[in-house]
Amino acid sequence: MTEEFRSGFVTLVGRPNVGKSTLLNQIVGSKIAIVSDRPQTTRAAVRGVRTTPENQIVFIDTPGIHKPRTLLGERTNERARATLDEVDVVCMLVEANAPIGSGDRFIADLVHQVGTPTLLVVNKVDRAGKPAVAEHLVAAARDLGDFDAYVPLSARTGEGVDALVGEIESRLPEGPRYYPEGIVTDQPETFLAAELVREKLLAVARDELPHSINVSVEEMDDLDDLDALEAEDPILRLRAVIRVERESQRGIVIGHRGQVLKEAGTAARLELEALFGVRVYLETRVQVERDWQRRAHALDRLGY
Q: Which residue has the higher pLDDT, 139 or 157?
A: 157
Angle, CA 280 vertex, CA 279 and CA 282 arms, to 5°? 160
- pLDDT at residue 154 in the model: 96
CATH assignment of the domain containing 83: 3.40.50.300
Q: Are residues 227 and 97 in the same domain?
A: no
- pLDDT at residue 125 in the model: 93
In this model, does residue 290 exceed pLDDT 50? yes
d(CA 304, CA 53): 36
CATH assignment of the domain containing 276: 3.30.300.20
Residue 22's SS3 state is helix
Last residue of a domain, one of 140, 169, 198: 169
Contact 217, 194 (CB under 8 A): yes
Q: Are strands 6-14 and 55-61 parallel, antiparallel or unpaired?
A: parallel
Task: Give 38's pLDDT tier (boundaries 50, 70, 90).
Answer: very low
**Residue burial 277-296, b: 16+ Cβ < 10 Å; e: rest:** eebbbbebebeebeebbebe
Q: Using one digit for the tens of pLDDT, what is the confidence trace for 50-98?
A: 999 999 999 987 765 655 566 666 666 676 667 788 889 999 999 998 8
In this model, does residue 150 exceed pLDDT 90? yes
Region at 19 (left for phi over 0; alpha for psi -120 to 50; beta for the rest): left
Does 178 fall in a domain? no
Distance of CA 132 to the CA centre of its chain: 27
Number of domains the chain contains: 2
- pLDDT at residue 79 in the model: 66
Q: Are residues 199 and 161 in the same domain?
A: no
- pLDDT at residue 2 in the model: 47
Q: What percent of the chain has pLDDT over 90?
A: 25
Q: Which residue has the higher pLDDT, 129 or 10?
A: 10
Q: What percent of the chain has pLDDT over 70?
A: 79
Q: Using one digit for the tens of pLDDT, what is the confidence trace for 243-269?
A: 888 888 888 888 888 888 888 889 888
Q: Are residues 164 and 194 in the same domain?
A: no
- pLDDT at residue 210 in the model: 53
Q: Are residues 37 and 72 in the same domain?
A: yes
Q: Give strand pairing partners of 95.
A: 123
Sheet order of strands, 279-288 included:
214-219, 235-244, 279-288
Does 181 fall in a domain? no
d(CA 135, CA 143): 12
- pLDDT at residue 129 in the model: 81
Q: Using one digit for the tens of pLDDT, what is the confidence trace for 216-237?
A: 888 876 444 445 445 556 688 8
Residue 179's SS3 state is coil
DSSP 132-174: HHHHHHHHHHHHH---SEEEE--TTT-TTHHHHHHHHHTTPPB
Residue 48's SS3 state is strand
In this model, does residue 200 exceed pLDDT 50? yes
Contact 28, 21 (CB under 8 A): no
- Beta-carbon contacts of 213 under 8 Å, excluding residues fewer than 6 positions away, are 198, 201, 202, 205, 242, 243, 244, 249, 253
Q: Are residues 165 and 203 in the same domain?
A: no
d(CA 154, CA 138): 18
d(CA 286, CA 240): 9
In this model, does residue 205 exceed pLDDT 50? yes
Domain region containing 165: 6-169
d(CA 232, CA 210): 35
Q: Are residues 150 and 26 in the same domain?
A: yes
Q: Give strand pairing partners of 55.
A: 6
**First CA to last CA distance, the chain:** 47
Mean pLDDT of 2-20: 87
Does 144 fall in a domain? yes
Residues in the chain: 304
The whole-chain average pLDDT of the chain stands at 81
- pLDDT at residue 91 in the model: 94
